[in-house]
């Protein structure tokens, strides 16, 4: 479907193409997308893309959890070194 739209709009550009020409071509293609054929094509795309999006979301959540753990470890090590510095200066 996307290839057809690209072919019906973008590939028809010439030196004499006007914005009105492009607008008319786009409007026609949007009408096609609103038909049963267009909805079927969009549905097929979603069927392939949705699992990829879900996988990426899962990976991002896992990545964010790891980043959160790293941040907590940095904060913990920072407070330990702060406490050591306070203890060292008290000993003097």
Q: Model confidence over 17-28: pLDDT tens digits?
A: 888 998 888 888
- Per the structure, the count of domains in the chain is 1
Q: Is the pTM of this model over 0.75?
A: no
Q: Residue 1: inside a domain, yes or no?
A: no
Q: Is 7 helix (H, G, I), strand (E, B) or coil?
A: helix
Q: Residue 84: inside a domain, yes or no?
A: yes
- Alpha-helical (H) ranges within the chain are 2-9, 19-33, 36-91
Q: Residue 4: inside a domain, yes or no?
A: no
| Confidence check: pLDDT of 89 > 80 | no
Instruction: Return the percentage of the chain with pLDDT > 90, whole number.
Output: 11
Tokens of 23: 């607008």
Q: 35-43: long-range contacts at Cβ-Cβ below 8 A with a sequence spacing of 24 or more?
A: 38/1, 41/1, 42/1
The domain in which residue 81 lies consists of 50-92
Q: Residue 11: inside a domain, yes or no?
A: no
Q: Is 10 helix (H, G, I), strand (E, B) or coil?
A: helix
């Amino acid at each position: 479907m996307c290839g057809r739209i690209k072919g019906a709009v973008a590939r028809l550009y010439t030196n004499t193409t006007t914005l009105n020409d492009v607008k008319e071509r786009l409007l026609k293609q949007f009408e096609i997308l609103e038909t049963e054929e267009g909805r079927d094509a969009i549905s097929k795309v979603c069927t392939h893309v949705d699992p990829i999006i879900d996988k990426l979301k899962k990976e991002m959540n896992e990545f964010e959890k790891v980043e959160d753990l790293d941040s907590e470890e940095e904060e913990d090590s920072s407070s330990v070194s702060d406490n050591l510095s306070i203890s060292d200066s008290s000993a003097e």
